[in-house]
Structure 1
C-alpha cells in the first residue's frame, strides 16, 4: 500500500528491545491507513543499554477514519503503559 499526502509521526520508547518494536509495528500495521517503518539507531557509539531502534515512523493516510486514529492511540498507550 502506498499512501499519498501522508502525515508522518515518530514514536519513541526509550530502551525497548527490537523484538518489542517489531511487535508494536505488527499491531499497528493491522490498522487500515497506517504504514509503519522501524528506524534503526543512528548513534555512532554503541551503548549496550540503548535500543537498537531509534523510533517507529508512522505514516498516516490523510483520510484516516477517526476510529482508526483512536485505535492507533490505544495500541501505543498499551505499550507505553506496559513498558514504561
Structure 2
C-alpha cells in the first residue's frame, strides 16, 4: 500500500485513479499489475480498540480450479480520535 490519508503523494492517491474491473485479468508469476490498475482494499473494523495496527494483508484468489494465497507487507494504523 503506497498512500495514506495523512500526507501521501497526490500521484499515489487512489481516489484519482479510475475504477475498472480486474476480474478475469490474468497475472503471470513474477508479473505485476500495470500502472493504470489499482486494487482497492475495503477494510471493515469491528472493534473499538485503538490504536489498531496491521502489518500485512493476506490475499486469497482463484485462477481456474487452483486456489492461491499471498501475504503482502502493508502497514495500516487506525489511530484514536483526536482530542478536541
Greater strand proportion = 2
Bigger CA radius of gyration: 2
Greater helix proportion = 1
- More RCO (CA 8 Å, sep 6+): 1
TM-score (normalised: structure 2): 0.25
TM-score (normalised: structure 1): 0.25
